[in-house]
A = this chain, B = another copy of it.
């Protein structure tokens, strides 16, 4: 089955949001991307908040399914895989994690979108906390929060500096700090 128009729109929207921000993405651009008119985009997503909510929900869902694939038997390997997921989300000069963008824009965003973003962060923290608890890492909850924050922040710093290595430095240091704990 080929992609539905709704899916095509979401794909185009994710690309635009991640590379220019939610407020910079317009229905007209999306319409152009997928080859319909802007009014028709409103048919699929009545309002912009509706689109935003669907977008983050879809992103979180896909991310979750990637997380579920990671083998959690070895702490270090699992952590490296986790970081790799974030690393893949950081394509220099092109895009960063959707939720890093949404998080930074949060204050000016509709509440329903923010709740989805929050859920994304929570999901990541929970996954890490479970991993840490399982491998006897101390302060599992605190460390999980630290790692998520560091990775999201690392992306932002790297993005504004246009220097991917800044993210890698943060990521590796974060992993090491877990090993030390």
Does A156 touch B at the CB level, under 8 Å? yes
Stretch among A66-74, A76-84, A147-155 lining the B interface: A147-155
Provide a sorted-by-A list of 13 A–B residue pairs whose CB atoms are within 8 angstroms. Answer: A21-B104, A23-B23, A101-B104, A104-B156, A106-B162, A118-B160, A139-B176, A145-B170, A146-B174, A149-B149, A149-B156, A156-B156, A177-B181
Given contacts A19-B107, A107-B94, is CB(A102)–CB(B181) below 8 Å? Answer: no
Q: Shortest Cβ distance from A95 into chain B, in angstroms? A: 7
Given contacts A21-B23, A149-B150, 8 further A-B contacts (CB under 8 A): A118-B162, A145-B154, A145-B157, A149-B154, A149-B156, A149-B157, A152-B157, A177-B180
Once the chains bind, are B142 and A173 in contact (CB under 8 Å)? yes
Q: Specify which chain B residues have a CB less than 8 angstroms from the CB of A93 in the assembled complex.
A: 107
Copies in the complex: 2
Once the chains bind, are A169 and B157 in contact (CB under 8 Å)? no
Q: Tell me the bound Cα distance from A122 to B21 in angstroms.
A: 24
Q: Shortest Cβ distance from A3 into chain B, in angstroms? A: 25
Q: Tell me the bound Cα distance from A156 to B107 in angstroms.
A: 10
Query: Considering residues A23, A114, A145, A156, which has the most beta carbons from chain B within 10 angstroms of its beta carbon?
Result: A156
Size band of the A side of the interface?
A: 35 or more
In the complex, the chain B residue whose C-beta lies closest to that of A167 is B149
In the complex, the chain B residue whose C-beta lies closest to that of A151 is B153
Q: Specify which chain B residues have a CB less than 8 angstroms from the CB of A172 in the assembled complex.
A: 142
| Residue positions of A touching B, CB distance < 8 A | 19-21, 23-24, 93-96, 99-108, 114, 117-118, 121-122, 139, 142-143, 145-146, 148-157, 159-162, 166, 169-170, 172-174, 176-177, 180-181
Once the chains bind, are B157 and A121 in contact (CB under 8 Å)? yes
Once the chains bind, are B20 and A177 in contact (CB under 8 Å)? no
